[in-house]
Structure 1
Amino acid sequence: MTSPGPSAVLFDMDGTLIDSERLWGIALGELARRYGGRLSDRARLAMIGTSEAETFRLLHEDLGQPWRDPRSGARWVATRVAELFANELTWQPGARELLTEVRAAGVPTALVTSTGRSLVDVALRTLDPTNFDVVVTADDVTARKPDPTPYLTAAAALGVDPTGCVAIEDSPVGIASALAAGCTVIAVPQEVAVTATGERLHLHDGLVDVRLATLRGLVAPAAARQ
C-alpha cells in the first residue's frame, strides 16, 4: 500500500527554517552606513527572497548611488553574514520539530535556497546536512526564484514529480517559484505579506502548528497517480 503523501518536502532556508533575514538586514544596513547612507525599510522588504543582483540594485537605488560595484558589496556582505551565521543563527519556531518528524517518517527532503553555497555551508552547521537528501543553492541553478528552476532541480535530483511535493516558503518570490514548478505550497510569511491565493497555496502564521499530518492529504504521492 502506498504511504500518504507528500512525495518530498522542499524547504526554503532564509526566514523559513532559520531566523536569518534579520541577520541579512544587519549586514546590509551596516554596508549602507559604510557607504554613508541608510537602508530604508521599504527597500529592505523589497529585497527579501530576491537574487543577489536584485538586492544590490535595490540597495544602490535606495542610497542614490547607482555607480556602486555590486560585486564588491556582495563580497563584503557575504563575509559579514558568514560571521553572523556562525555566531547568531537560530531556528524558526517549530521548524526543527517539523523537519525532524518528516525525516523520521522517511519522506525525502531538499533545501532550496537563493543563498550561495559558501553561506549555506555555514548555515548547515546549525541545520545539519544530514537533514537533507538534496541541497540546491543559488550556485547550482542558472535561473533563481521566482523562476521555477530551483524547485524543478530539487525534485529532479530526488527523482520525484514536483506536483507530489510540498514546498515550505516565507517570501512571495519563493512562493511564486514553487507554485510555478507545480508544488503545493505552505506559506509562512515573516517580513513580507503574502497576497497570492490558489488551490495549491496554504497560508499559516508559522511552523509551530505545522506537522507531517498537516502535509499529508495536501498532495497525493506522484506514484499513486501514474
Structure 2
Amino acid sequence: MSSSAFPVPPPAIDVRAAGVQAVLWDMDGTLLDTEPYWMGAETALVREFGGQWTDEDAYALVGNALPDSARILQTAGVRLSIREIIDRLSADVCAGVSREVMWRPGAIELLHELRAASIPCALVTMSEGPLAALVTSLLPDGLFRFHVTGDLVSRGKPDPEPYLMALESMGALVRDLDPRRVVAIEDSVPGILSASASGATTVAVPHMSPIEPSGDWVLVDSLAGFRLADLDRLVADRISGAFPPAAVVSGAGA
C-alpha cells in the first residue's frame, strides 16, 4: 500500500556528504497543538453516553493509534463502532483546526530551514488523511513531500510500521537513504517507540506527556531555536556511537 499523499519525483542524488538526509514529523502535538481539540472531543463523546472522562484518561490516549483510542472509549461507555468513534473525533478536531491553528514553537521555522536546504520532510501521523490534508493545506506548498496517516497502516504507533512505511517512501526520493541519517521528531511515548524501532534517529520533544530519557532517543526541551545544525550534530553522534547525549538538548538559538 502506498503511503504517498503527494506525487513523489524520481530518485534524486543526495548531495550532502554527511548530516541529515530527511526529516519525519509527527503532527499532533509536534507540528501543531491539536491535543486540546482531541481531548475536548473525547470528553464530549463520553459524556454524551453518560460516562465520565478525566484529564488523566485523556492524557493516556496521547499519541495512540485511533482504533486503540476508540476501543478505550468504548470501555468508557461510548456505544458506537470504532469507525463511528474515529469519524466523530476526527470531525471535531478538523473543525477546531479550521477555527484556530496553534503551531508548536519552532516547528514552522525549522521546516522552512529544511526546505531551504532541500532536505525532504514527511508527516507520520496517527490522524487520518482528511486532517493531515487540512493541516498541510494551511502551510506553504513543498514543506512536506508526502504523509503516512493512520488509515494507511494496519498497525499504528507504537508499532514501527508507520515509520518503516515512511522510510520506504523516502527511499524512493533520496538515493542511498540511511535510516540513521533520517530524523524523526515526536512528542509522545507511542510515537518515540514507533520511530526509534524503525531505525530512524529519534528526537523527543515532550508536550502533554512526560518522556523518560533513553538510549534510543534524545530529549529536546523545545524546537524553538532548534536548527538544521543541531539535527546534523545528532546524526553525527548517532553514526559515531555517541547518541544520545546524556542531558536534555537545547537548540543552538534557544
* Residue among 227, 230, 248 paired with 1:211: 227
Aligned residues: 218
Query: Would you say the 8 A contact 1:148–1:181 is kept in 2?
Result: yes
AA partner of residue 49 (structure 1) = G
CA distance in 1, matches of 2:78, 2:92: 22
Partner of 2:211: 194
Query: Would you say the 8 A contact 1:155–1:161 is kept in 2?
Result: no
Query: Would you say the 8 A contact 1:7–1:164 is kept in 2?
Result: yes
Structure 1: give runs of 5+ residues left out of the alignment. Answer: 221-226
Q: Following TM superposition, by how much is the alpha carbon of 1:11 offset from its aligned partner in structure 2, in angstroms?
A: 0.6
AA partner of residue 95 (structure 1) = A
> Structure 2 length as normaliser, TM-score?
0.80
Secondary structure, in 3 states, of the residue corresponding to 1:15?
coil
Query: Would you say the 8 A contact 1:152–1:162 is kept in 2?
Result: no
AA partner of residue 135 (structure 2) = A
Partner of 1:223: none
Partner of 2:20: 6
Query: Would you say the 8 A contact 1:109–1:131 is kept in 2?
Result: yes
Query: Would you say the 8 A contact 2:31–2:107 is kept in 1?
Result: yes
> Structure 1 length as normaliser, TM-score?
0.89
CA distance in 2, matches of 1:19, 1:2: 32
Structure 2: give runs of 5+ residues left out of the alignment. Answer: 1-14, 172-176, 237-254
Q: In the TM superposition, what whole-angstrom CA distance separates every residue of 1:166-187 from its partner, at most 9, and x where no partner exists? A: 1100000000011000111111
Q: Bigger CA drift: 75-84 or 164-173?
A: 75-84
AA partner of residue 212 (structure 2) = T
Q: In the TM superposition, what whole-angstrom CA distance separates every residue of 1:131-183 from its partner, at most 9, and x where no partner exists? A: 11121111222221111111111111111232221110000000001100011
Q: How does 1:150-161 map to 2 (within 5 A)?
A: 150-159=162-171, 160-161=177-178
Secondary structure, in 3 states, of the residue corresponding to 2:184?
strand
Percent sequence identity is: 40
- Structure 1 segments, 4+ long, off by >3 Å, are 1-4
| Aligned CA-pair RMSD | 1.9
* Residue among 163, 173, 188 paired with 1:171: 188
Partner of 1:42: 56
* Residue among 85, 99, 106 paired with 2:118: 106
Secondary structure, in 3 states, of the residue corresponding to 2:225?
coil
Aligned pair 1:137/2:154, yes or no? no
CA distance in 2, matches of 1:182, 1:149: 11
Q: Following TM superposition, by how much is the alpha carbon of 1:67 offset from its aligned partner in structure 2, in angstroms?
A: 5.0
Aligned pair 1:22/2:39, yes or no? no
